[in-house]
Structure 1
Protein backbone atom coordinates (compact mmCIF):
# COMPACT_ATOMS: atom_id res chain seq x y z
CA UNK A 1 0.00 0.00 0.00
CA UNK A 2 2.85 2.39 0.96
CA UNK A 3 6.50 1.58 0.37
CA UNK A 4 9.62 3.68 0.84
CA UNK A 5 12.86 2.48 -0.75
CA UNK A 6 16.09 4.17 0.39
CA UNK A 7 14.45 7.59 0.63
CA UNK A 8 16.67 10.58 1.38
CA UNK A 9 15.58 14.20 1.57
CA UNK A 10 18.12 17.02 1.65
CA UNK A 11 16.74 20.56 1.73
CA UNK A 12 18.31 23.42 -0.23
CA UNK A 13 20.00 24.71 2.94
CA UNK A 14 21.89 21.41 3.25
CA UNK A 15 19.81 19.92 6.07
CA UNK A 16 19.34 16.17 5.63
CA UNK A 17 15.82 15.57 6.96
CA UNK A 18 15.58 11.90 5.92
CA UNK A 19 18.54 9.56 5.50
CA UNK A 20 18.09 6.32 3.52
CA UNK A 21 14.65 5.47 4.95
CA UNK A 22 13.01 2.18 3.92
CA UNK A 23 9.84 0.53 5.23
CA UNK A 24 6.47 -0.76 4.04
CA UNK A 25 2.90 -0.25 5.23
CA UNK A 26 0.46 -2.95 4.19
CA UNK A 27 -3.16 -2.69 3.20
CA UNK A 28 -5.44 -2.17 6.19
CA UNK A 29 -2.66 -1.36 8.67
CA UNK A 30 -2.82 1.34 11.33
CA UNK A 31 0.64 2.88 11.79
CA UNK A 32 1.99 5.68 13.94
CA UNK A 33 5.04 7.60 12.69
CA UNK A 34 6.65 9.16 15.77
CA UNK A 35 9.74 11.10 16.73
CA UNK A 36 10.93 14.24 18.41
CA UNK A 37 11.04 17.64 16.71
CA UNK A 38 13.54 17.46 13.85
CA UNK A 39 13.29 13.69 13.52
CA UNK A 40 11.99 13.87 9.94
CA UNK A 41 8.39 12.81 10.47
CA UNK A 42 6.86 15.99 9.00
CA UNK A 43 9.16 15.72 5.98
CA UNK A 44 7.99 12.13 5.52
CA UNK A 45 4.35 13.24 5.61
CA UNK A 46 5.00 15.96 3.01
CA UNK A 47 6.72 13.43 0.76
CA UNK A 48 3.75 11.05 0.97
CA UNK A 49 1.29 13.73 -0.12
CA UNK A 50 3.72 14.92 -2.81
CA UNK A 51 4.04 18.38 -1.29
CA UNK A 52 7.83 18.10 -1.64
CA UNK A 53 10.15 15.87 -3.68
CA UNK A 54 12.60 13.24 -2.44
CA UNK A 55 16.28 13.82 -3.16
CA UNK A 56 16.91 10.10 -3.62
CA UNK A 57 14.93 6.87 -3.43
CA UNK A 58 11.46 5.73 -4.42
CA UNK A 59 8.05 6.07 -2.80
CA UNK A 60 5.11 3.91 -3.85
CA UNK A 61 1.55 4.77 -2.82
CA UNK A 62 -1.16 2.29 -3.75
CA UNK A 63 1.15 0.85 -6.41
CA UNK A 64 2.06 4.23 -7.93
CA UNK A 65 5.69 5.38 -7.95
CA UNK A 66 5.00 8.94 -6.84
CA UNK A 67 8.64 10.01 -7.16
CA UNK A 68 8.16 9.84 -10.93
CA UNK A 69 4.72 11.41 -10.93
CA UNK A 70 4.23 14.64 -12.89
CA UNK A 71 2.52 17.61 -11.23
CA UNK A 72 -0.38 17.14 -13.63
CA UNK A 73 -1.12 13.75 -12.07
CA UNK A 74 -0.88 14.79 -8.42
CA UNK A 75 -4.65 15.50 -8.11
CA UNK A 76 -5.33 11.94 -9.29
CA UNK A 77 -2.88 10.59 -6.69
CA UNK A 78 -4.67 12.47 -3.94
CA UNK A 79 -7.91 10.73 -4.82
CA UNK A 80 -6.24 7.62 -3.40
CA UNK A 81 -5.72 9.26 -0.05
CA UNK A 82 -7.54 11.31 2.52
CA UNK A 83 -5.42 13.88 4.33
CA UNK A 84 -5.98 15.44 7.76
CA UNK A 85 -3.87 18.32 9.07
CA UNK A 86 -3.23 19.65 12.57
CA UNK A 87 -4.69 23.05 11.67
CA UNK A 88 -7.81 21.52 10.01
CA UNK A 89 -7.53 23.62 6.81
CA UNK A 90 -11.28 24.10 6.52
CA UNK A 91 -12.96 26.76 4.39
CA UNK A 92 -14.29 29.12 7.03
CA UNK A 93 -16.84 30.99 4.93
CA UNK A 94 -18.94 27.93 4.04
CA UNK A 95 -20.85 25.38 6.13
CA UNK A 96 -19.69 22.05 7.51
CA UNK A 97 -21.82 20.29 4.89
CA UNK A 98 -20.31 22.37 2.08
CA UNK A 99 -16.76 21.73 3.32
CA UNK A 100 -17.28 17.99 3.09
CA UNK A 101 -19.20 18.23 -0.19
CA UNK A 102 -16.32 20.23 -1.68
CA UNK A 103 -14.09 17.13 -1.61
CA UNK A 104 -16.64 15.34 -3.81
CA UNK A 105 -17.16 18.28 -6.15
CA UNK A 106 -13.42 18.40 -6.84
CA UNK A 107 -13.59 14.86 -8.25
CA UNK A 108 -16.77 15.74 -10.16
CA UNK A 109 -19.06 13.46 -8.18
CA UNK A 110 -22.74 13.60 -9.08
CA UNK A 111 -25.13 15.69 -6.98
CA UNK A 112 -26.92 12.45 -6.12
CA UNK A 113 -23.71 10.97 -4.69
CA UNK A 114 -23.01 14.16 -2.75
CA UNK A 115 -26.50 14.20 -1.22
CA UNK A 116 -26.12 10.56 -0.23
CA UNK A 117 -22.50 10.52 0.98
CA UNK A 118 -22.13 13.78 2.90
CA UNK A 119 -24.91 13.23 5.49
CA UNK A 120 -23.75 9.64 5.95
CA UNK A 121 -20.14 10.56 6.72
CA UNK A 122 -21.13 13.51 8.93
CA UNK A 123 -23.32 11.17 10.93
CA UNK A 124 -20.41 8.75 11.27
CA UNK A 125 -18.18 11.43 12.83
CA UNK A 126 -20.96 12.69 15.11
CA UNK A 127 -21.80 15.94 13.32
CA UNK A 128 -25.26 15.19 11.95
CA UNK A 129 -26.66 18.15 13.91
CA UNK A 130 -23.91 20.59 12.87
CA UNK A 131 -24.23 20.48 9.08
CA UNK A 132 -25.36 24.10 8.61
CA UNK A 133 -22.81 25.61 10.98
CA UNK A 134 -19.60 27.24 9.82
CA UNK A 135 -16.22 25.98 11.07
CA UNK A 136 -15.71 29.15 13.14
CA UNK A 137 -18.79 28.20 15.18
CA UNK A 138 -17.35 24.79 16.09
CA UNK A 139 -15.01 23.61 18.82
CA UNK A 140 -11.54 22.37 17.89
CA UNK A 141 -12.69 18.77 18.16
CA UNK A 142 -15.69 19.43 15.92
CA UNK A 143 -13.46 21.12 13.36
CA UNK A 144 -11.17 18.09 13.32
CA UNK A 145 -14.21 15.82 12.92
CA UNK A 146 -15.24 17.94 9.93
CA UNK A 147 -11.75 17.59 8.47
CA UNK A 148 -11.93 13.82 9.01
CA UNK A 149 -15.30 13.64 7.27
CA UNK A 150 -13.91 15.59 4.33
CA UNK A 151 -10.89 13.25 4.16
CA UNK A 152 -12.93 10.04 4.04
CA UNK A 153 -16.02 11.07 2.05
CA UNK A 154 -14.37 9.81 -1.16
CA UNK A 155 -13.77 6.46 0.56
CA UNK A 156 -10.00 6.58 -0.09
CA UNK A 157 -7.91 3.43 0.52
CA UNK A 158 -5.39 5.47 2.55
CA UNK A 159 -5.86 8.10 5.27
CA UNK A 160 -2.85 10.22 6.27
CA UNK A 161 -3.08 12.39 9.38
CA UNK A 162 -0.44 14.92 10.48
CA UNK A 163 -0.64 15.65 14.22
CA UNK A 164 -4.46 15.26 14.20
CA UNK A 165 -4.64 15.75 17.98
CA UNK A 166 -2.02 18.52 18.18
CA UNK A 167 -4.52 21.31 18.93
CA UNK A 168 -6.93 19.27 21.04
CA UNK A 169 -7.40 18.49 24.73
CA UNK A 170 -6.79 14.90 25.95
CA UNK A 171 -10.47 13.86 25.99
CA UNK A 172 -11.12 15.18 22.48
CA UNK A 173 -7.83 13.69 21.26
CA UNK A 174 -8.97 10.27 22.38
CA UNK A 175 -12.33 10.70 20.63
CA UNK A 176 -10.53 11.55 17.37
CA UNK A 177 -8.26 8.51 17.72
CA UNK A 178 -11.28 6.25 18.27
CA UNK A 179 -12.76 7.64 15.07
CA UNK A 180 -9.52 6.89 13.21
CA UNK A 181 -9.61 3.37 14.60
CA UNK A 182 -13.20 2.94 13.41
CA UNK A 183 -12.20 4.15 9.93
CA UNK A 184 -9.33 1.65 9.96
CA UNK A 185 -11.66 -1.20 10.95
CA UNK A 186 -13.69 -0.44 7.81
CA UNK A 187 -10.62 -1.32 5.73
CA UNK A 188 -8.82 2.00 5.29
CA UNK A 189 -5.04 2.08 5.77
CA UNK A 190 -4.37 4.74 8.42
CA UNK A 191 -1.02 6.49 8.93
CA UNK A 192 -0.76 9.00 11.79
CA UNK A 193 2.24 11.30 12.27
CA UNK A 194 2.31 12.40 15.90
CA UNK A 195 4.32 13.26 19.00
CA UNK A 196 1.40 12.45 21.34
CA UNK A 197 2.92 9.72 23.52
CA UNK A 198 -0.23 9.08 25.57
CA UNK A 199 -2.33 8.37 22.50
CA UNK A 200 0.31 6.15 20.88
CA UNK A 201 0.88 4.13 24.04
CA UNK A 202 -2.84 3.63 24.61
CA UNK A 203 -3.62 2.50 21.06
CA UNK A 204 -1.03 -0.32 20.84
CA UNK A 205 -0.64 -0.15 17.07
CA UNK A 206 2.46 -0.45 14.90
CA UNK A 207 4.91 2.32 15.75
CA UNK A 208 7.69 3.50 13.41
CA UNK A 209 10.12 5.78 15.23
CA UNK A 210 12.31 8.32 13.43
CA UNK A 211 15.40 9.95 14.92
CA UNK A 212 17.74 12.27 13.03
CA UNK A 213 16.13 11.25 9.75
CA UNK A 214 16.53 7.50 10.24
CA UNK A 215 14.15 4.71 11.27
CA UNK A 216 15.47 3.58 14.65
CA UNK A 217 12.54 1.41 15.73
CA UNK A 218 9.63 -0.38 14.04
CA UNK A 219 7.44 -2.53 16.28
CA UNK A 220 3.95 -4.02 16.19
CA UNK A 221 1.66 -3.16 19.11
CA UNK A 222 4.40 -0.79 20.13
CA UNK A 223 4.79 2.24 22.31
CA UNK A 224 6.58 5.56 22.17
CA UNK A 225 9.29 6.55 24.56
CA UNK A 226 12.12 4.01 24.34
CA UNK A 227 13.83 5.47 21.31
CA UNK A 228 16.19 7.82 23.15
Structure 2
Protein backbone atom coordinates (compact mmCIF):
# COMPACT_ATOMS: atom_id res chain seq x y z
CA UNK A 1 0.00 0.00 0.00
CA UNK A 2 2.72 2.50 1.06
CA UNK A 3 6.41 1.73 0.58
CA UNK A 4 9.45 3.93 1.07
CA UNK A 5 12.79 2.75 -0.29
CA UNK A 6 15.87 4.59 0.98
CA UNK A 7 14.11 7.95 0.88
CA UNK A 8 16.20 11.04 1.62
CA UNK A 9 14.97 14.62 1.52
CA UNK A 10 17.37 17.55 1.61
CA UNK A 11 15.87 21.03 1.39
CA UNK A 12 17.53 23.84 -0.62
CA UNK A 13 18.88 25.37 2.61
CA UNK A 14 20.85 22.18 3.25
CA UNK A 15 18.63 20.74 5.99
CA UNK A 16 18.37 16.96 5.71
CA UNK A 17 14.79 16.26 6.87
CA UNK A 18 14.76 12.55 6.03
CA UNK A 19 17.81 10.32 5.83
CA UNK A 20 17.64 6.95 4.05
CA UNK A 21 14.16 6.06 5.33
CA UNK A 22 12.67 2.70 4.39
CA UNK A 23 9.47 1.06 5.61
CA UNK A 24 6.28 -0.49 4.29
CA UNK A 25 2.68 -0.06 5.44
CA UNK A 26 0.33 -2.83 4.37
CA UNK A 27 -3.19 -2.33 3.09
CA UNK A 28 -5.69 -1.98 5.92
CA UNK A 29 -3.06 -1.21 8.55
CA UNK A 30 -3.29 1.36 11.35
CA UNK A 31 0.07 3.01 11.99
CA UNK A 32 1.33 5.83 14.20
CA UNK A 33 4.25 8.01 13.12
CA UNK A 34 5.84 9.66 16.15
CA UNK A 35 8.89 11.70 17.06
CA UNK A 36 9.93 15.07 18.42
CA UNK A 37 9.74 18.34 16.48
CA UNK A 38 12.24 18.30 13.63
CA UNK A 39 12.26 14.51 13.38
CA UNK A 40 10.91 14.50 9.81
CA UNK A 41 7.22 13.75 10.36
CA UNK A 42 5.91 16.78 8.45
CA UNK A 43 8.26 16.13 5.56
CA UNK A 44 7.06 12.54 5.40
CA UNK A 45 3.44 13.66 5.14
CA UNK A 46 4.30 16.17 2.41
CA UNK A 47 5.99 13.41 0.45
CA UNK A 48 2.96 11.13 0.79
CA UNK A 49 0.67 13.96 -0.38
CA UNK A 50 3.05 14.68 -3.28
CA UNK A 51 3.56 18.27 -2.13
CA UNK A 52 7.31 17.75 -2.39
CA UNK A 53 9.61 15.20 -4.01
CA UNK A 54 12.38 13.16 -2.36
CA UNK A 55 15.97 14.07 -3.10
CA UNK A 56 16.71 10.38 -3.56
CA UNK A 57 15.01 7.03 -3.06
CA UNK A 58 11.60 5.78 -4.17
CA UNK A 59 8.07 6.15 -2.81
CA UNK A 60 5.30 3.74 -3.81
CA UNK A 61 1.59 4.17 -3.12
CA UNK A 62 -0.76 1.35 -4.13
CA UNK A 63 2.07 -0.36 -6.00
CA UNK A 64 2.76 2.74 -8.12
CA UNK A 65 6.08 4.57 -8.01
CA UNK A 66 5.04 8.19 -7.44
CA UNK A 67 8.60 9.49 -7.10
CA UNK A 68 8.56 11.09 -10.55
CA UNK A 69 4.82 11.21 -11.09
CA UNK A 70 3.81 13.68 -13.78
CA UNK A 71 2.10 16.82 -12.54
CA UNK A 72 -1.04 15.97 -14.52
CA UNK A 73 -1.38 12.71 -12.55
CA UNK A 74 -1.10 14.26 -9.08
CA UNK A 75 -4.82 15.18 -8.68
CA UNK A 76 -5.81 11.56 -9.30
CA UNK A 77 -3.29 10.39 -6.69
CA UNK A 78 -4.60 12.86 -4.13
CA UNK A 79 -8.15 11.64 -4.61
CA UNK A 80 -6.97 8.29 -3.25
CA UNK A 81 -5.67 9.91 -0.05
CA UNK A 82 -7.88 11.53 2.58
CA UNK A 83 -6.13 14.04 4.83
CA UNK A 84 -7.13 15.38 8.25
CA UNK A 85 -5.24 18.37 9.65
CA UNK A 86 -4.80 19.57 13.23
CA UNK A 87 -6.33 22.95 12.36
CA UNK A 88 -9.32 21.36 10.56
CA UNK A 89 -9.09 23.66 7.47
CA UNK A 90 -12.85 23.85 7.04
CA UNK A 91 -14.31 26.53 4.77
CA UNK A 92 -15.89 29.01 7.18
CA UNK A 93 -18.51 30.39 4.78
CA UNK A 94 -19.88 26.95 3.92
CA UNK A 95 -22.17 24.74 5.97
CA UNK A 96 -20.81 21.46 7.26
CA UNK A 97 -22.82 19.65 4.57
CA UNK A 98 -21.27 21.79 1.83
CA UNK A 99 -17.79 21.46 3.30
CA UNK A 100 -18.06 17.70 2.95
CA UNK A 101 -19.82 17.87 -0.41
CA UNK A 102 -17.09 20.14 -1.78
CA UNK A 103 -14.66 17.21 -1.85
CA UNK A 104 -16.97 15.35 -4.20
CA UNK A 105 -17.84 18.40 -6.29
CA UNK A 106 -14.21 19.06 -7.22
CA UNK A 107 -14.02 15.52 -8.59
CA UNK A 108 -17.18 16.19 -10.61
CA UNK A 109 -19.09 13.45 -8.80
CA UNK A 110 -22.75 13.09 -9.87
CA UNK A 111 -25.33 14.92 -7.77
CA UNK A 112 -26.93 11.63 -6.76
CA UNK A 113 -23.56 10.45 -5.39
CA UNK A 114 -23.21 13.63 -3.33
CA UNK A 115 -26.74 13.33 -1.96
CA UNK A 116 -26.08 9.73 -0.95
CA UNK A 117 -22.52 9.93 0.40
CA UNK A 118 -22.57 13.18 2.36
CA UNK A 119 -25.44 12.25 4.73
CA UNK A 120 -23.91 8.81 5.13
CA UNK A 121 -20.51 10.05 6.33
CA UNK A 122 -22.06 12.79 8.48
CA UNK A 123 -24.06 10.06 10.21
CA UNK A 124 -20.89 7.98 10.62
CA UNK A 125 -19.14 10.81 12.48
CA UNK A 126 -22.22 11.79 14.48
CA UNK A 127 -22.95 15.13 12.79
CA UNK A 128 -26.27 14.47 11.03
CA UNK A 129 -27.97 17.10 13.19
CA UNK A 130 -25.24 19.69 12.49
CA UNK A 131 -25.24 19.48 8.69
CA UNK A 132 -26.67 22.98 8.17
CA UNK A 133 -24.43 24.69 10.70
CA UNK A 134 -21.20 26.54 9.92
CA UNK A 135 -17.80 25.59 11.36
CA UNK A 136 -17.73 28.44 13.90
CA UNK A 137 -20.96 27.11 15.40
CA UNK A 138 -19.30 23.77 16.25
CA UNK A 139 -16.95 22.75 19.04
CA UNK A 140 -13.36 21.79 18.25
CA UNK A 141 -14.23 18.10 18.44
CA UNK A 142 -17.19 18.56 16.11
CA UNK A 143 -15.03 20.45 13.65
CA UNK A 144 -12.54 17.60 13.67
CA UNK A 145 -15.38 15.16 13.02
CA UNK A 146 -16.43 17.30 10.07
CA UNK A 147 -12.86 17.28 8.78
CA UNK A 148 -12.86 13.49 9.08
CA UNK A 149 -16.12 13.27 7.15
CA UNK A 150 -14.69 15.44 4.41
CA UNK A 151 -11.56 13.28 4.21
CA UNK A 152 -13.43 10.00 3.78
CA UNK A 153 -16.51 11.02 1.78
CA UNK A 154 -15.04 9.73 -1.48
CA UNK A 155 -13.96 6.49 0.23
CA UNK A 156 -10.17 6.85 -0.21
CA UNK A 157 -8.06 3.75 0.43
CA UNK A 158 -5.61 5.80 2.55
CA UNK A 159 -6.30 8.29 5.35
CA UNK A 160 -3.52 10.51 6.71
CA UNK A 161 -4.20 12.28 10.01
CA UNK A 162 -1.80 15.03 11.06
CA UNK A 163 -2.04 15.58 14.83
CA UNK A 164 -5.81 14.92 14.79
CA UNK A 165 -6.09 15.30 18.57
CA UNK A 166 -3.61 18.15 18.98
CA UNK A 167 -6.19 20.84 19.81
CA UNK A 168 -8.68 18.66 21.67
CA UNK A 169 -9.33 17.74 25.29
CA UNK A 170 -8.62 14.12 26.37
CA UNK A 171 -12.25 12.94 26.18
CA UNK A 172 -12.76 14.36 22.70
CA UNK A 173 -9.38 13.00 21.61
CA UNK A 174 -10.51 9.48 22.46
CA UNK A 175 -13.74 9.99 20.53
CA UNK A 176 -11.75 11.00 17.45
CA UNK A 177 -9.41 8.02 17.81
CA UNK A 178 -12.39 5.67 18.07
CA UNK A 179 -13.71 7.14 14.84
CA UNK A 180 -10.36 6.54 13.18
CA UNK A 181 -10.47 2.94 14.40
CA UNK A 182 -13.97 2.52 12.96
CA UNK A 183 -12.78 3.91 9.64
CA UNK A 184 -9.82 1.53 9.72
CA UNK A 185 -12.10 -1.44 10.42
CA UNK A 186 -14.01 -0.56 7.24
CA UNK A 187 -10.83 -1.27 5.27
CA UNK A 188 -9.10 2.12 5.09
CA UNK A 189 -5.36 2.26 5.71
CA UNK A 190 -4.87 4.85 8.48
CA UNK A 191 -1.60 6.69 9.19
CA UNK A 192 -1.63 9.02 12.22
CA UNK A 193 1.13 11.52 12.98
CA UNK A 194 0.90 12.49 16.64
CA UNK A 195 2.63 13.65 19.82
CA UNK A 196 -0.14 12.15 22.00
CA UNK A 197 1.80 9.54 23.93
CA UNK A 198 -1.18 8.43 26.02
CA UNK A 199 -3.25 7.60 22.95
CA UNK A 200 -0.38 5.81 21.23
CA UNK A 201 0.55 3.76 24.28
CA UNK A 202 -3.06 2.74 24.94
CA UNK A 203 -3.99 1.67 21.43
CA UNK A 204 -1.18 -0.83 20.91
CA UNK A 205 -0.92 -0.31 17.17
CA UNK A 206 2.21 -0.23 15.07
CA UNK A 207 4.47 2.70 15.95
CA UNK A 208 7.20 4.06 13.67
CA UNK A 209 9.49 6.45 15.54
CA UNK A 210 11.54 9.07 13.70
CA UNK A 211 14.52 10.93 15.11
CA UNK A 212 16.62 13.42 13.16
CA UNK A 213 15.18 12.13 9.91
CA UNK A 214 15.80 8.44 10.50
CA UNK A 215 13.63 5.52 11.60
CA UNK A 216 14.98 4.59 15.03
CA UNK A 217 12.21 2.23 16.10
CA UNK A 218 9.43 0.24 14.41
CA UNK A 219 7.19 -1.71 16.76
CA UNK A 220 4.24 -3.71 15.46
CA UNK A 221 2.30 -3.40 18.71
CA UNK A 222 4.39 -1.08 20.78
CA UNK A 223 4.46 2.15 22.69
CA UNK A 224 5.46 5.69 21.82
CA UNK A 225 9.07 4.62 21.93
CA UNK A 226 10.78 8.00 22.15
CA UNK A 227 11.39 10.43 24.97
CA UNK A 228 12.32 14.06 24.27
- Flag whether TM exceeds 0.5 (same fold): yes
Cα distance in 2 for residues equivalent to 1:9 and 1:176: 31
Q: Please, which runs of 5 or more residues in structure 2 have no aligned partner? A: none
Q: 2:174 maps to what in 1?
A: 174
The answer on whether the counterparts of 2:209 and 2:225 sit within 8 Å (CA) in structure 1 is no
Task: Kindly indicate whether residue 199 of structure 2 is the aligned counterpart of residue 160 of structure 1.
Answer: no
- Find the aligned partners of 2:62 and 2:136 in 1 and give their Cα distance: 35
Q: Deviations over 1:13-32 (max 9, x none)?
A: 11100000000000000000
User: Are the equivalent residues in 2 in contact too, given 1:95–1:134 (CA < 8 A)?
Assistant: yes
Between the aligned partners of 1:62 and 1:95, the Cα distance in structure 2 is 33
Aligned partners of 2:223, 2:66: CA distance in 1, in Å? 30
Instruction: Report SS of the residue matched to 1:68.
Output: coil
Show CA shifts across 1:7-50 (max 9, x none). Answer: 00011111100000000000000000000011101110111001
Q: Secondary structure at the match of 2:75?
A: helix
Gaps of 5+ in 1: none
Classify the secondary structure of the residue corresponding to 2:147: helix
Aligned pairs for 1:43-192 (under 5 A) are: 43-192=43-192
Question: Is 1:14 aligned with 2:1?
Answer: no
What's 1:221 paired with?
221
The 2-side partners of 1:178 and 1:221 are apart by: 17
Question: Contact 2:209/2:226 (CA < 8 Å) preserved in 1?
Answer: no
Work out whether 1:30 is the aligned partner of 2:16: no
The whole-number CA distance in structure 2 between the counterparts of 1:71 and 1:167 is 34
SS of the counterpart of 2:128?
coil
What TM-score results when the alignment is normalised by the length of structure 1? 0.98
Runs (4+) off by over 2 Å: 225-228
Whether the 8 Å contact between 2:35 and 2:226 is mirrored in structure 1 is no
Shift of 1:79: 1.2
User: Deviation at 1:65?
Assistant: 1.3
- Equivalences, count: 228
Aligned to 1:194: 194
